[in-house]
Structure 1
Amino acid sequence: MKTVVISLGGSILIPTLENHTIKEYVPVLKKIAKSHRLFVVVGGGGEARRYISVTRELGIDEGTSDEIGILITRLNATILISALGEDAYPKVAETHSEAKKFAESGKIVVMGGITPGQTTDAVAAVLAERVRAAVFINATSVDGIYSADPKKVPDAKRFALLTPKQLLDIVGGTGLGAGSNNVLDIVAARVVERSGIPLVVLDGRDPKNLSNAILKGKYTGTVVSDGKKKPLPL
């Protein structure tokens, strides 16, 4: 079984409690897990940003705001675990070592944030390195990495293939404030560079894009790799 680590953006899984895609993601993740060793790192989404906006209004420091955001990511992870039922390990992994231990069960391992100042993308990138993943997938709200924010710049260019160095050049100016919502943060990009594990950034708004990518190699997105061979399908 090949190992897959998915960073599942909170903005696509649980943008708000009233508007979520958990029901749609459950069968997709179960299907992938039948033939792959699967780890899922869940982001905080809109709910985390709502809480963090309140902490800032109250003058609470960024580190504490980050810790509150981490709690929300773990709450989201708990909801996903519960929805996955017997297919998931019943506890949210709170460290990479725990995630590796939980994976011995053969079940889907789910985790959220770990450390203040570090996004769940960075958590997933380090996890991919620790478990020697065949691929690290970032399922987000855009269909790849662009030269600029495509939501603000209509003619921004989407890259089909980037080297890790090119990725670093693109994300180097992004911020690390609590609740940061960039396509990928600088820490994750540096881990991708040092690990050599291929990164695929794809549109996660339709859950089927994820299974089509992993199982069929059919997707629109950006591959970050030193090699020219596409890492999917597995």
Structure 2
Amino acid sequence: MKYNRILLKLSGEALMGEQQYGIDAVRLMQYAEEIKAVAATGTQVAVVIGGGNIFRGVQAAAFGLDRVQGDYMGMLATVINSMALQSALEKLDVSTRLLSGLTIQQVCEPYLRRRAMRHLEKGRVVIFGAGIGSPYFTTDSAASLRAIEIEADVVLKGTRVDGIYTADPEKDPTAVRYPEITFEEVMAKNLNVMDMTAFTLCKENNLPIIVFDMNKTGNLQRLLEGDTVGTLVTMEGPSPVQNKEDSALQSTL
């Protein structure tokens, strides 16, 4: 496989499936099966999942709540999603550990870097819940930080879009997807990949990011086998050969 250790970032909203809120059992099991297939190859898998299908900290202001309180509520929402994913994986006989940035002894282990790495080395899927345990930080930031701490080879951001585009492909049908792009280009073009704190952490630690469509069955496996799936963000960017191919592609559009 192309990568030995990965950090998979999933959005909470994706767990809704076709529902308006909550967790869709079909989508949850689809993700669990995708992760199981990858873990079975020997790739070490860590996962961070958001909580937007239940509650987002930034919603607190709309309710007149304190932002800090709202962020802690959002962290608890990620723990609920993490527990659901853990349960789905264990239903498929995948050895899993849930580590939390908040101390919740009854349902998950407290996060310790060495413990997380040991679990990964033993072939267990490790799920990081409750973000980094502090308000004002998103789960994107948690994903970047945990990936750096566990020395992951790449951050895989699973979304409903198959990569990074020149514009929002759901609004602009002429938008073109980048097969590869540099950190500098993403920042210069103000492309929405992650929040700036998370993105800067990856850039400063030379940690590649791949944005891809997690909802398409088999994409995660194909990506790890070396197929061109989604958009790769690196310090170097595409090769000269790739640049020529991109120019040829855009000239035909």
TM-score class, shorter: 0.7 to 0.9
**Structure 1 position 29 matched with structure 2 position 17:** no
Q: 1:188 to 1:136 in 2, by over 3 A?
A: same
**Structure 1 position 208 matched with structure 2 position 218:** yes
Q: Please state whether the residue corresponding to 1:206 is helix, strand or coil.
A: coil
In the superposition, the TM-score normalised over structure 2's length comes to 0.76
For 1:118 and 1:47, locate their aligned partners in 2 and report how far apart those are by CA, in whole Å.
Answer: 17
For 1:2 and 1:84, locate their aligned partners in 2 and report how far apart those are by CA, in whole Å.
Answer: 20
**Mean CA deviation greater in 105-114 or 90-99:** 90-99
Q: Any gaps of 5 or more consecutive residues in structure 1?
A: 173-181
In the alignment of these two chains, the number of paired residues is: 218
In the superposition, the TM-score normalised over structure 1's length comes to 0.81
For 1:99 and 1:14, locate their aligned partners in 2 and report how far apart those are by CA, in whole Å.
Answer: 28
Q: How does 1:142-161 map to 2 (within 5 A)?
A: 142-161=161-180
What residue in structure 2 maps to residue 164 of structure 1?
183
Residues 13 and 45 in structure 1, CA contact (< 8 A), matched pair in contact too: no
What residue in structure 2 maps to residue 176 of structure 1?
none
TM superposition shift of 1:30: 0.9
* Alignment deviations for residues 125-178 of structure 1 (CA, whole Å, 9 cap, x no partner): 112211221221111121112233333333333222111122233458xxxxxx
Residues 39 and 123 in structure 2, CA contact (< 8 A), matched pair in contact too: no
For 2:49 and 2:172, locate their aligned partners in 1 and report how far apart those are by CA, in whole Å.
Answer: 28
**Structure 1 position 193 matched with structure 2 position 207:** no
For 1:171 and 1:192, locate their aligned partners in 2 and report how far apart those are by CA, in whole Å.
Answer: 16
TM superposition shift of 1:196: 0.9
Q: How does 1:80-95 map to 2 (within 5 A)?
A: 80-85=85-90, 86-94=93-101, 95=111
Q: Any gaps of 5 or more consecutive residues in structure 2?
A: 102-110, 240-253
* Alignment deviations for residues 52-105 of structure 1 (CA, whole Å, 9 cap, x no partner): 64x334311222211111110111001101111142434333246253354344
**Mean CA deviation greater in 71-80 or 18-27:** 18-27
Q: 1:30 to 1:196 in 2, by over 3 A?
A: same
Q: Please state whether the residue corresponding to 2:47 is helix, strand or coil.
A: strand
For 1:124 and 1:101, locate their aligned partners in 2 and report how far apart those are by CA, in whole Å.
Answer: 18
State the structure with more CA Rg.
2
TM superposition shift of 1:216: 4.6
**Structure 1 position 38 matched with structure 2 position 45:** yes
**Mean CA deviation greater in 81-90 or 26-35:** 81-90
